[in-house]
Copies of this chain bind each other. A is one copy, B any other.
Amino acid sequence: MNITTLSALAEPTRLQIVELLREGPLTVGEIADRLHIRQPQVSKHLKVLNESQIVEVRPEANRRFYKLRPEPLREMDGWLKTFRSIWDDQFNQLEDYLREIQEDKSN
Protein backbone atom coordinates (compact mmCIF):
# COMPACT_ATOMS: atom_id res chain seq x y z
CA MET A 1 0.00 0.00 0.00
CA ASN A 2 1.24 3.47 -0.87
CA ILE A 3 1.56 5.64 2.22
CA THR A 4 1.29 8.76 0.05
CA THR A 5 -2.29 7.97 -0.85
CA LEU A 6 -3.24 7.48 2.78
CA SER A 7 -1.56 10.68 4.00
CA ALA A 8 -3.23 12.65 1.26
CA LEU A 9 -6.66 11.36 2.28
CA ALA A 10 -5.99 11.62 6.01
CA GLU A 11 -6.78 15.30 6.07
CA PRO A 12 -10.41 16.33 6.57
CA THR A 13 -10.53 19.02 3.89
CA ARG A 14 -8.83 16.84 1.32
CA LEU A 15 -11.17 13.98 2.06
CA GLN A 16 -14.08 16.33 1.51
CA ILE A 17 -12.60 17.46 -1.79
CA VAL A 18 -12.25 13.87 -2.95
CA GLU A 19 -15.82 13.13 -2.00
CA LEU A 20 -16.97 16.22 -3.86
CA LEU A 21 -15.09 15.19 -6.98
CA ARG A 22 -16.86 11.84 -6.90
CA GLU A 23 -19.73 13.61 -8.66
CA GLY A 24 -17.52 14.92 -11.44
CA PRO A 25 -14.75 17.42 -12.30
CA LEU A 26 -14.79 20.82 -10.63
CA THR A 27 -12.75 24.01 -10.78
CA VAL A 28 -10.79 25.41 -7.85
CA GLY A 29 -13.32 28.14 -7.31
CA GLU A 30 -16.26 25.78 -7.32
CA ILE A 31 -14.60 23.62 -4.68
CA ALA A 32 -13.81 26.65 -2.54
CA ASP A 33 -17.41 27.82 -2.75
CA ARG A 34 -18.98 24.49 -1.93
CA LEU A 35 -16.70 23.76 1.02
CA HIS A 36 -16.57 27.33 2.32
CA ILE A 37 -12.79 27.49 2.36
CA ARG A 38 -10.42 30.03 0.87
CA GLN A 39 -9.03 29.60 -2.61
CA PRO A 40 -5.33 29.32 -1.65
CA GLN A 41 -6.15 26.51 0.76
CA VAL A 42 -7.99 24.67 -2.00
CA SER A 43 -5.09 25.10 -4.40
CA LYS A 44 -2.66 23.79 -1.83
CA HIS A 45 -4.76 20.76 -1.04
CA LEU A 46 -5.23 20.05 -4.72
CA LYS A 47 -1.49 20.20 -5.15
CA VAL A 48 -1.08 17.46 -2.58
CA LEU A 49 -3.84 15.39 -4.18
CA ASN A 50 -2.24 15.91 -7.57
CA GLU A 51 1.22 14.87 -6.42
CA SER A 52 -0.21 11.72 -4.93
CA GLN A 53 -1.93 11.00 -8.25
CA ILE A 54 -5.37 11.12 -6.73
CA VAL A 55 -6.49 13.89 -9.06
CA GLU A 56 -5.49 15.24 -12.44
CA VAL A 57 -5.92 18.71 -13.98
CA ARG A 58 -7.37 19.93 -17.23
CA PRO A 59 -6.74 23.62 -17.88
CA GLU A 60 -9.43 25.48 -19.73
CA ALA A 61 -8.86 29.18 -20.29
CA ASN A 62 -7.98 30.66 -16.93
CA ARG A 63 -9.75 27.92 -14.99
CA ARG A 64 -8.53 24.47 -14.06
CA PHE A 65 -10.77 21.46 -13.80
CA TYR A 66 -9.72 18.82 -11.33
CA LYS A 67 -10.96 15.27 -11.53
CA LEU A 68 -10.35 12.01 -9.75
CA ARG A 69 -7.93 9.42 -11.09
CA PRO A 70 -8.84 5.79 -10.57
CA GLU A 71 -5.46 4.17 -9.86
CA PRO A 72 -4.85 5.11 -6.20
CA LEU A 73 -8.36 4.13 -5.18
CA ARG A 74 -8.03 0.87 -7.04
CA GLU A 75 -4.77 0.21 -5.27
CA MET A 76 -6.38 0.81 -1.89
CA ASP A 77 -9.11 -1.59 -2.81
CA GLY A 78 -6.57 -4.25 -3.73
CA TRP A 79 -4.70 -3.72 -0.50
CA LEU A 80 -7.86 -4.10 1.56
CA LYS A 81 -8.54 -7.40 -0.13
CA THR A 82 -5.37 -8.81 1.43
CA PHE A 83 -7.18 -8.50 4.76
CA ARG A 84 -10.14 -10.56 3.74
CA SER A 85 -9.25 -13.29 6.22
CA ILE A 86 -9.50 -10.73 9.02
CA TRP A 87 -12.94 -9.39 8.26
CA ASP A 88 -14.34 -12.79 7.48
CA ASP A 89 -16.22 -13.62 10.67
CA GLN A 90 -15.91 -17.33 10.24
CA PHE A 91 -12.15 -16.96 10.18
CA ASN A 92 -12.22 -14.97 13.41
CA GLN A 93 -14.36 -17.54 15.12
CA LEU A 94 -11.98 -20.30 14.07
CA GLU A 95 -9.12 -18.28 15.51
CA ASP A 96 -10.97 -17.82 18.79
CA TYR A 97 -11.68 -21.54 18.96
CA LEU A 98 -8.07 -22.47 18.32
CA ARG A 99 -6.93 -20.14 21.08
CA GLU A 100 -9.50 -21.64 23.43
CA ILE A 101 -8.30 -25.20 23.07
CA GLN A 102 -4.73 -23.93 23.33
CA GLU A 103 -5.57 -22.39 26.71
CA ASP A 104 -7.21 -25.61 27.85
CA LYS A 105 -3.99 -27.47 27.17
CA SER A 106 -2.09 -25.03 29.41
CA ASN A 107 -4.21 -26.01 32.46
* A residues neighboring B (CB under 8 Å): 1, 3, 6-7, 9-12, 15, 19, 22, 24, 68, 70-71, 73-74, 76-77, 80, 82-83, 85-89, 92, 95
Contacts and interface: CB of A to CB of B under 8 A. Distances in A.
Number of this chain's copies in the complex? 2
A1 B80 CA distance: 15
A86 B21 CA distance: 10
Contacts of A82: 22
Give the interface centre of A15, A86, A95 by most chain B CB atoms within 10 Å. A86
B83 A68 contact: yes
B73 A76 contact: no
A5 to B, nearest CB: 9
A104 to B, nearest CB: 14
